[in-house]
Structure 1
Amino acid sequence: MSQEPQTLDDAPEGLEALLPSVVDHVALARLYGEPLFTMPRDLYIPPDALQIFLEAFEGPLDLLLYLIRKQNFNILDIPMAAVTRQYLSYVDEIRAGNLELAAEYLLMAAMLIEIKSRMLLPPKKTAEGEEPEDPRAELVRRLLEYEQMKLAAQRLADAPQYGRDFLRAQVHIEQSLAPRFPDVHVLDLQSAWRDILKRAKLVQHHRISREELSVREHMSIVLRRLQGRKFVEFGELFDPEKGSPVLVVTFIAMLELAKETLIELTQAEAFAPIYVRLAYTPA
């Protein structure tokens, strides 16, 4: 829905041209938070704000290799005069815009001039049968190694990369059907049953039954066994077949009888058998 044009009575001259005819126009840019709907007429663009690089080089060796391959020079027989002249012209261009970037290229330029001057001088004398050293040999070796590394890097960059050339496919499928569980094999069922039997054998129950035993009753039993006998060996008064509870009660009964002086425990000497008899009471 359109609205009436908005004007400023006290606006400075030229400001009305910057205001939109309608409020819902899209702003081209914002200057200090204020929208701009038209390009300012007095806009200043610095000379180095926009630069176009037709060829980008990653260093002096990259530039030298480009000059050699572009003109189909033999890298093993580099024409130093032509290459040095073209190289220096490129260095002069980058020195005008970026002196810091040109420092590395100037070092290579000095090396090229040195090689060119050495080629103008007569070769040094060598031993018989040996060829004089070529001043370009070291430069050629470095260029060949750099070219090999550059080609290897290019092959790696051309290989498909995840996120750049392809993406991993992700498909979400909703499981609307009931889950189907795998069938149980007979051997698995037998193994599970054996495990249950093993656990059952490990679980044991011990029931304790309460047996009524009377100390007074066993005291009477001991006295009856001693009647009519002078001495009875201590072990004969116990019956192991009746179990430990009966043995304990019998022993307690003998202690009570000895406490009440109804029986006597005698021994002939140390470590000799112990005998039991009824206590002697004079008439």
Structure 2
Amino acid sequence: MPRAAPDTDALPVDHVAVARLYGEPLFAMPQDLYIPPDALEVFLEAFEGPLDLLLYLIRKQNFNILDIPLADVTRQYLAYVDQIRQRNLELASEYLLMAAMLIEIKSRMLLPPKKSDDGSEVADPRAELVRRLLEYEQMKLAAARLDQLPMIGRDFLRAQVHIEQSLKPRFPDVEVVDLREAWADILRRAKLNQHHRISREQLSVREHMSIVLRTLQGRRFVEFEDLFDPTRGVPVMVVTFIAMLELAREHLLEITQAEAFAPIYVRLAYQPA
């Protein structure tokens, strides 16, 4: 009994899949494949909104945008809206609103013009629509110029080059200024770690009391600052000050001042023989 020949239409050619469905290979076209009628529709013009469609109709027929023939434009506009309503009623609502505005402007143009209260003529009913169309056209042209600028990922790619570094390390060059600043920094740190040797100096308060008395002898008074010798160092000045306090305590000298912030004077509290 002869064997039935296999169906060559259902077999893949060289085991190559004709398509993939959810990631799985499809080696034969399904017999019950349904393609909706609107899946193969081709749109020659796609508009971004009512103003875009209206501007397209005006520019396509070289109409003057400042003097729009609303009868012809409205007729063509409504024809396009009827096509949209057959496919997407929700999208057509935006276009219907513009169509109602065009019809209203046309009806206002058919009526006899009325003058305002001050006697001036009423503005053209198309003026507001013209203003919106001109602004939209400016924004559209600006967007087109921006789209023509080079864009990363679309017009060019960022170059990424991996350079293999040499195994031998390359150290940075050192200038003379860097060496001088490094040496100055070392000197500053060395000064912070200096050792101070404190030596004890034998100073006698009694001896300095005698020196103060000898200085004041024969003089009516001496200014307070003249009793100190800054060149001999701080310890000597401290002992001299203590000696003056001790003499004042023993009522051997007087310390006077005429008024606040006035100079301070020192004199002997007694007159030597």
| Pair in the same fold by TM > 0.5 | yes
Aligned to 1:89, the other structure's residue is in SS state helix
The correspondence for 1:46, drawn from 12, 36, 56, is 36
Q: Structure 1-normalised TM-score? A: 0.59
Q: Does the CA-based 8 Å contact 2:18-2:26 persist in structure 1?
A: yes
Aligned to 2:98, the other structure's residue is in SS state helix
Shift of 1:126: 3.5
1:140 aligned to 2:130?
A: yes
Corresponding residue of 2:109: 119
- AA at the equivalent of 2:40: L
1:67 aligned to 2:54?
A: no
Corresponding residue of 2:17: 27
Aligned to 2:107, the other structure's residue is in SS state helix
Going from structure 1 to structure 2, the CA distance change for 1:95 and 1:179 (only over 3 Å counts) comes to: same
1:108 aligned to 2:98?
A: yes
- AA at the equivalent of 2:93: A
In structure 1, how many angstroms separate the alpha carbons of the residues matched to 2:81 and 2:134? 22
Aligned to 1:135, the other structure's residue is in SS state coil
Corresponding residue of 2:75: 85
- AA at the equivalent of 1:37: F
In structure 1, how many angstroms separate the alpha carbons of the residues matched to 2:25 and 2:156? 40
Going from structure 1 to structure 2, the CA distance change for 1:198 and 1:21 (only over 3 Å counts) comes to: closer
Shift of 1:142: 0.7
Shift of 1:25: 1.6
In structure 2, how many angstroms separate the alpha carbons of the residues matched to 1:178 and 1:200? 36
- Residues 217-274 of structure 1 show CA distances to partners (whole Å, capped at 9, x for unaligned) of xxxxxxxxxxxxxxxxxxxxxxxxxxxxxxxxxxxxxxxxxxxxxxxxxxxxxxxxxx
In structure 2, how many angstroms separate the alpha carbons of the residues matched to 1:186 and 1:30? 70
- AA at the equivalent of 1:116: K
Corresponding residue of 1:270: none
The correspondence for 1:131, drawn from 101, 106, 121, is 121
Tell me the number of residue pairs that the alignment of Structure 1 and Structure 2 aligns.
194
Task: Structure 2: state its 5+ residue gaps.
Answer: 197-273
- Residues 149-206 of structure 1 show CA distances to partners (whole Å, capped at 9, x for unaligned) of 1111111111111221122222222222634434433443344334334434443679
Q: Does the CA-based 8 Å contact 2:54-2:77 persist in structure 1?
A: yes
Q: Does the CA-based 8 Å contact 2:58-2:64 persist in structure 1?
A: yes
* Larger-Rg structure: 1
In structure 2, how many angstroms separate the alpha carbons of the residues matched to 1:33 and 1:18? 23
In structure 2, how many angstroms separate the alpha carbons of the residues matched to 1:198 and 1:21? 86
In structure 1, how many angstroms separate the alpha carbons of the residues matched to 2:71 and 2:79? 13
What RMSD over aligned residues (CA atoms) do the two structures have, in Å? 3.0
In structure 2, how many angstroms separate the alpha carbons of the residues matched to 1:182 and 1:46? 71
